[in-house]
Amino acid sequence: MKNIWIIVLGLIISSCIKEEQGVELVVGDRLPDFEVVMNDGSVVDDDILSEGVSVVMFFHTSCPDCQQALPRMQQIYDEYISKGVYFAFISREESAVDIESYFNEKGLKLPYSAQNDRKVYEQFAQTRIPRIYICEKGGIIRYIFTDDPVPTYDLLKSSLDSVIR
């Protein structure tokens, strides 16, 4: 009987710990309330992104999977910015100096928001980057991509096209 109580107590404690770990947005959720300042000084928030189709990406330039995804996102950005798609590229705990250095080295021209902590990221998820959200007008998440596997350009494009239509 003592062993059963230990198991029950363990389950209760682990469920409390899981609750404290925070949110994990899923397809169908709405973008959370957030606001970031981009590297050009403009402000992007959930209200702006909800005005149309949007893409939100969390990254860190030292992450190998992010290094794989960022050039693909540059292609997507170049192709879709003129089609009215809104973008927010947000670092997870990385300085503007480090991002700018990496972007210059790799020829990336994406607008980004450097976040020195995980406050914004933790409104979306707790683990895994890259983390890419494709949302329809109204800020409803229709696709979520992470590092498992890192999405191809074709997958990103077809997903975005399906939301635009």
The number of folded domains in the chain is 1
pLDDT at 87: 98
Is residue 107 in some structural domain? yes
pLDDT at 9: 39
CB 130 within 8 Å of CB 57: yes
Is residue 79 in some structural domain? yes
Spell out, as residue ranges, where the chain has pLDDT lower than 50: 3-20
pLDDT at 21: 58
Sheet with 112-113: list strands edge to edge. 112-113, 86-91, 54-59, 131-136, 140-145
Contacts of 53 by beta carbon, 8 Å cutoff, 6+ apart = 84, 85, 86, 134, 135, 136, 137, 160, 163, 164
82-118 pLDDT per residue, tens? 999 999 999 999 999 999 999 999 999 999 999 999 9
Is residue 20 in some structural domain? no
CA distance 70 to 65: 9
pTM for this predicted structure: 0.86
Where residue 67 sits, what CATH number does that domain have? 3.40.30.10
